[in-house]
Structure 1
Amino acid sequence: MSRAVSLYLPTWPTDRLRRSLGASAPPPDAPLVLVGRDGRKRAIVAANAAALELGAAPGMAVAKAQALIEGLEVRDADPAGDDAALERLAVWALKRYSPMVAADPPDGLRLDMAGAAHLLGGEPAFLADLVRRLTDSGVGARIAIAPTYGAAHALARFEPEPSVIVQRQDLEARLAPLPVAALRLDTATVAGLRRLGVETIGELAALPRAPLALRFGPEVGRRLDQAYDRTGEPFELVEAPELVRVRRSFAEPIGAPETLARYTGKLAAQLCEALEAKGLGARRLDLLFTRVDNRVEAIRAGTAKPLRDIPRITRLLCDRIETIAPGFGIELMTLTATIAEPLDYRAEASSLIDAAVPDLSDLVDTLANRMAHGRLYRCAPTESEVPERSIRRVEPLAPPIGVTWPNDWPRPSRLIDPPAPVEAMALLPDHPPASFTWGGVRRRVKRADGPERIFGEWWVRDGELAAVRDYFEVEDEAGERFWLFRRGDGEDPNTGDHRWYLHGIFA
């Protein structure tokens, strides 16, 4: 199922100018406009948010804007540079977010999340990450995800919320209150509809189609059908010339899953040959299926390390072949290595002493492409005395970091984070608990070892300057072993409130 994304950059020309000027750029809160020629007069082409708030608007004469806004910064517009930068942004989005990206001049991008949302952690995570990266780069952005690009385009530009996700069942209700200008109609058509009293998309959709076509032509009906997913809307995908790409076209359209899988294997072989010629291995693969109705279906797969193994690439792509809807047939298949890194297959000298290290990358690739982003990881130690801070997530095949956990005191196989409060009875200041209650069950302690004192990390938080924890490894009458700690040293209340917590369970 297609999930169209519209990325709207309302102040793209001024944002791009500020980025290109670097340290010499005017402050973000200073009004800035870009001007060009409109016949004989110089008119505003674009304005930043500060200038728009003070009354500047595209099409306004520069002299009027300067008289209206004190301290207005005026620069020459560069539409060609803006379009070129938008194409580069589309290539960046292609490599990071989606296998199907197109520039939508003059101020947006068009993406399709089909085949890639599962690798990004879902649509909300995708929205948050994309907006954060653009904001950190000084680029204002609004974004919408909807079943059709016409709907996403309208919502991104006319919905009050800057980030919108709309499901198919909510499409009509979200589109109905938007103005007719959201349908990408020309100015004359919008003015004509308003003279008839038609202000919103809902009002327009309720009118008979034939009189509209007779008065305004077929464009109004076509835009309505595109927004409501009654007709397709093809677009030209961006292509980066530096990417390794192979194609196969078909004189007769194909559609059977086994046929698609067979040609996927042939494309994988061609791609590996092209990668080998450049000494590269694929880290991300995009397989596009162009249908006879000009709609594009996609599969995206990632790898844990550079790869040009034909069977493995074929298997990774064919694992998701059932998600492809061939329609009336596929006439073109394109396989692209959107991310490729240097790869040298020369084997290292074998050792007669050390055991061979098993290669887990195949298993990691298979699992990672079936799971949501971030769900597959490995735990690694990090330098911290506080137990819950001594573990961090790393990539499954990340190299060793040269840090190990201390082995002078045992650590539980299961760590409870955050620690669970328990009711305990113990003699202060340094005796282990005689019993404790957890989950409504009272457990009598038979054996105990401790205390192991851990001090707070004052360089992390000021409140931990005097903080202390005393840890005990205890065993109850049933033979189960637990890791308990008391917050505080048992004497000074400034070190903690002397409450007890369960922090781990031993296997």
Structure 2
Amino acid sequence: MPRVVSLFLPSWSTDRLRRKLGDASPPPDKPLVLVGRQGNRRIVVAADRAALAAGLRLGMPATKAQALVPGLVVMDAKTEADAEALDRLALWALRRYAPIVAADPPDGLVIDTTGADHLHGGEHAMLSDMVERLVQAGLSARAAIADTWGAAHAVSRYLRQNVNVVASGGARDALLSLPISALRLPRAIVDGLRVLGFENIGDLLAQPRAPLALRFGPELGRRLDQAAGVLNEPIDPTRPPDVIEVQRVFGEPIGAAETIARYVHKLVELMCAELETKGLGTRRLDLLLHRVDNRIEAIRVSTALPVRDVKRLTRLLCDKIETIDPGFGIELMRLAAPLAESLKPKQTISSLIEQPDADISDLIDTLGNRVGEEKLYRFAPVASDVPERSFRRIAPASPDTGEAWPDHWPRPARLFAFPELIEAIALLPDHPPVSFTWRGIRRRVKRADGPERVFGEWWKCHAELAAVRDYFQVEDEAGERFWIYRAGDGEDVATGSHCWFLHGIFG
């Protein structure tokens, strides 16, 4: 089942203008409208959130808007600049999220994310990431995902949540309560339907189709079928002007997995030859398969490092062939590298010198394309004595940070995200516990080492000015080893609660 994201930018024109003006832009709380010409009239074509809250609306004469809101900031609309910026935003989404992205003028994007959501932690996490990144860039945004472009478009614009996930197969139900204007119909058709008493899409779906088509033409039925998934609505994907791309057109449509794999190998060979002439390696490959029914199937694979190895890239793509639905056949295959980086030739290693380090980037690529890049990471040390702050996650193929792991005290193989409270019996202030109870099980301590005193980082938080932890390595009678600590120095209550916590387990 296809999955389509509609990314809605409700204040696209005004947000873009504020970003362009930078420090010279009006304050965020000052109403801003953009005006354009409709014949001889100057009307409001865009308004920010403050202007809408003040009662202004699109299509209102500019003079009336200025009379209603004293101090209103009025600027000329730049329709062409808005469209160009929307195309650039589509290229950003293409490189980051999915291989099929297109601008959805005047205020949105449409993204076919079929089979790509797992690379970003799932659909909800992917939509949240989109919205958060745009908000951080100063753009208001809402996103919805559904089985169809029409349903996602309607939900993103007429439900107020920033992130909406319509379950697979639930597009029709999600549309029932939405207004008829959500169908992307011309204004004349919407007004005519309202005159007849229709308010929401559910009212239309309950009516016979023939009388509506006779009165309003085929457009109404087409939009209803597209939103419900009865009629396919193809997306014409945007492509970067400088993208490296190869393609193969077939005289007769193909559909067998073996045939697709064979031509994937041929396209990868052509792609690697192009990359080699430019001194580049690909970090991301998009395979687009154009079906005879005007629908596009897509596969995206990513690599941790720049690559132009034919065998490796072919395997990554062929691993996902089973996700392709060829339909009645594929008439065009296109392979593109939307993200490529410089790749220097490698010197052949002589057997007379030391062997190079093992290259595990192939394994990283295989796992990353199966479970998602964000689920693969490694730990790098951070200069901090506080255990939970002494490391951070980095990409598995990231270069060495130069920091060294502390070796003066051993650390457990498993460190809990949050220390767990335990009940312990110990002689204060410096003795380890004789026994402790964790998760309902009482454990008698057989051996112990410590304490290792860790002070709070007072320069980060005032509450840590006097904070102290005393850590102990303890072993119970069963031979299991734990890392526990007492909050406080055992004497002064200002240094901590003197409660005991279990923070980790040694392997």
TM-score by length of 1: 0.97
**Which region of structure 1 is more displaced relative to structure 2, 477-486 or 329-338?**
477-486
Find the residue that maps to 1:446 and give its secondary structure.
strand
CA RMSD of aligned residues (A): 1.5
8 A Cα contact 1:122 1:372, kept in partner = no
The 5 A counterparts of 1:353-432 are 354-432=354-432
2:233 is aligned with 1:226? no
Quote the residue 2:146 is aligned against: 146
Which residue identity is paired with 2:55?
G
The 5 A counterparts of 1:113-132 are 113-132=113-132
Deviations 1:305-344 (A, max 9, x none): 0000001101111111101111001111111111110001
The 5 A counterparts of 1:200-215 are 200-215=200-215
The 2-side partners of 1:102 and 1:283 are apart by: 21
Deviations 1:381-418 (A, max 9, x none): 11110112112111111122122222222222222332
Which residue identity is paired with 1:297?
E
**Which region of structure 1 is more displaced relative to structure 2, 413-422 or 258-267?**
413-422
1:441: how far off?
2.6
Structure 1's 176 and 386: CA in aligned 2 closer, same or farther, altered over 3 A?
same
Structure 1's 278 and 190: CA in aligned 2 closer, same or farther, altered over 3 A?
same
Find the residue that maps to 1:383 and give its secondary structure.
coil
8 A Cα contact 1:180 1:190, kept in partner = yes
Q: Aligned residue pairs: how many?
A: 507
1:48: how far off?
1.5
8 A Cα contact 1:286 1:335, kept in partner = yes
8 A Cα contact 2:102 2:237, kept in partner = yes
8 A Cα contact 2:5 2:144, kept in partner = yes
Structure 1's 437 and 59: CA in aligned 2 closer, same or farther, altered over 3 A?
closer
Structure 1's 235 and 411: CA in aligned 2 closer, same or farther, altered over 3 A?
closer
The 2-side partners of 1:295 and 1:56 are apart by: 41
Find the residue that maps to 1:303 and give its secondary structure.
strand
Structure 1's 503 and 235: CA in aligned 2 closer, same or farther, altered over 3 A?
closer
Quote the residue 1:301 is aligned against: 301
Quote the residue 2:95 is aligned against: 95
1:425: how far off?
1.5
The 2-side partners of 1:485 and 1:352 are apart by: 52
The 5 A counterparts of 1:155-170 are 155-170=155-170
The 2-side partners of 1:399 and 1:351 are apart by: 26
1:152: how far off?
0.9
1:173: how far off?
2.5
The 5 A counterparts of 1:39-438 are 39-347=39-347, 354-438=354-438
The 2-side partners of 1:415 and 1:282 are apart by: 37
Deviations 1:138-163 (A, max 9, x none): 11122211110011111112223232
Quote the residue 1:28 is aligned against: 28
The 1-side partners of 2:10 and 2:31 are apart by: 15
The 1-side partners of 2:472 and 2:352 are apart by: 45
8 A Cα contact 1:435 1:445, kept in partner = yes
The 1-side partners of 2:133 and 2:37 are apart by: 34
Find the residue that maps to 1:174 and give its secondary structure.
helix
The 2-side partners of 1:475 and 1:176 are apart by: 62
1:84: how far off?
1.1
Which residue identity is paired with 1:124?
H
**Which region of structure 1 is more displaced relative to structure 2, 455-464 or 201-210?**
455-464
Structure 1's 13 and 416: CA in aligned 2 closer, same or farther, altered over 3 A?
closer
The percentage of aligned residue pairs carrying the same residue is 61
Find the residue that maps to 2:398 and give its secondary structure.
coil
1:439: how far off?
2.8
Quote the residue 2:15 is aligned against: 15
8 A Cα contact 2:454 2:470, kept in partner = yes
Deviations 1:167-211 (A, max 9, x none): 134323321111111111111111221122111110101111111
1:478: how far off?
2.6
Deviations 1:321-377 (A, max 9, x none): 101111001111111111110001232765956442000000000011111342111
Which residue identity is paired with 2:238?
V
Quote the residue 2:456 is aligned against: 456
Find the residue that maps to 1:411 and give its secondary structure.
coil
Which ranges of structure 1 fall in alignment gaps of 5 or more residues?
none
Deviations 1:415-468 (A, max 9, x none): 233222222211111112122222333222222221111111112221111111
The 1-side partners of 2:373 and 2:246 are apart by: 27
